């Protein structure tokens, strides 16, 4: 199993550009999430999904869109990039059962720089 | 929503000493508390977790304690080694692991 994969690893954007960060998992996990990590602020939840066709907002959803058309994929779209969106983005997935560890598996991250 | 505070932000210990990192949470409905370790340039990885029906959990040199009444939980690392140097994050959720609220992290440095 590849686990959670993310592409690209690094991206530079100009202000106002749009792009999609890709995330895929091959563990058949129902739950997937997007976090951003900024220095001194830990990881903050952007959007999450509890299954195909179901998404919801996290703590910092403004400027981002998500969709979940399949169990495997959970892309994050930046509509109009701003310098404040410069960050490291992590995708994560986990299983939904309450009877086993709710371990959340993280992808390797995408480092985004908005100029 | 949930709010998690983590202290200290940096911690330096000598090899072989113990390290303790503390977190407090605000939502009394939170019932799952994982700890993640993140090495420089790497992804966060789960090292230990605890549920609200358990007061303490150990895994070799790592232990986590939970005080539901005071709404705080702590990570204890004994006999620290240089490879323990990393940033540690606590987290909490009242529901699924897909909606974790993280603390701001503790940078642990283990010196020789």
Are B49 and A33 an interchain contact pair (Cβ–Cβ within 8 Å)? no
Radius of gyration of the CA atoms of chain B, in A = 13
Assigned token pair, B39 = 């090495």
Percent of chain A with pLDDT over 70: 94
Q: How confident is the model at residue B96 (pLDDT cuts 50, 70, 90)?
A: low
Which range among A3-17, A53-67, B86-100 shows the weakest confidence by mean pLDDT? Answer: B86-100
Please say if the pLDDT value at position A19 is more than 60: yes
Residue A89 has pLDDT above 50, yes or no: yes
User: How would you list the strands of the sheet with B62-67, edge to edge?
Assistant: B4-7, B19-25, B72-77, B62-67, B56-59
Nearest to A84 by CA among A24, A44, A32: A44
pLDDT at B105 over 70: yes
Using an 8 Å CB-CB cutoff, list chain A residues near B100: 33, 43, 45, 104
pLDDT band at A1, cuts 50/70/90? Answer: confident
Contacts of A45 in chain B (CB under 8 A): 99-101
Cross-chain Cβ contact B100/A45 below 8 Å: yes
Out of A31, A43, A58, closest to residue B96 by CB: A31
Q: How confident is the model at residue A99, as a pLDDT?
A: 46
CA distance A65 to chain B (A): 17
């Amino acid at each position: 199993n590849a686990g959670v994969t993310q592409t690209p690893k690094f991206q530079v954007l100009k202000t106002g550009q749009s792009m999609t960060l890709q995330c895929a998992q091959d563990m058949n996990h129902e739950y997937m999430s997007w976090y951003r990590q900024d220095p001194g602020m830990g990881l903050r939840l952007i959007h999450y999904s509890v299954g195909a066709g179901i998404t919801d907002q996290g703590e910092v959803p403004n400027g981002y869109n998500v969709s979940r058309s399949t169990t495997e994929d959970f892309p994050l779209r930046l509509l109009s990039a701003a310098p404040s969106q410069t960050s490291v983005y992590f995708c994560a997935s986990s299983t939904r059962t309450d009877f086993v560890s709710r371990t959340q598996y993280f992808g390797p991250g995408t480092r985004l720089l908005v100029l | 929503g949930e709010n998690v505070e983590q202290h200290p932000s940096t911690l330096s210990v000598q090899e072989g000493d113990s390290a303790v990192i503390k977190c407090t949470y605000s939502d009394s409905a939170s019932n799952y508390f994982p700890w993640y370790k993140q090495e420089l340039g790497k992804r966060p990885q789960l090292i230990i977790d605890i549920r609200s029906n358990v007061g303490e959990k150990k895994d070799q040199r790592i232990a986590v304690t939970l005080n539901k009444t005071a709404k705080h939980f702590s990570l204890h690392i004994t006999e620290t080694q240089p490879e323990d140097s990393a940033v540690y994050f606590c987290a909490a959720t009242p529901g699924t692991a897909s909606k974790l609220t993280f603390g701001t992290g503790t940078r642990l440095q283990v010196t020789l």
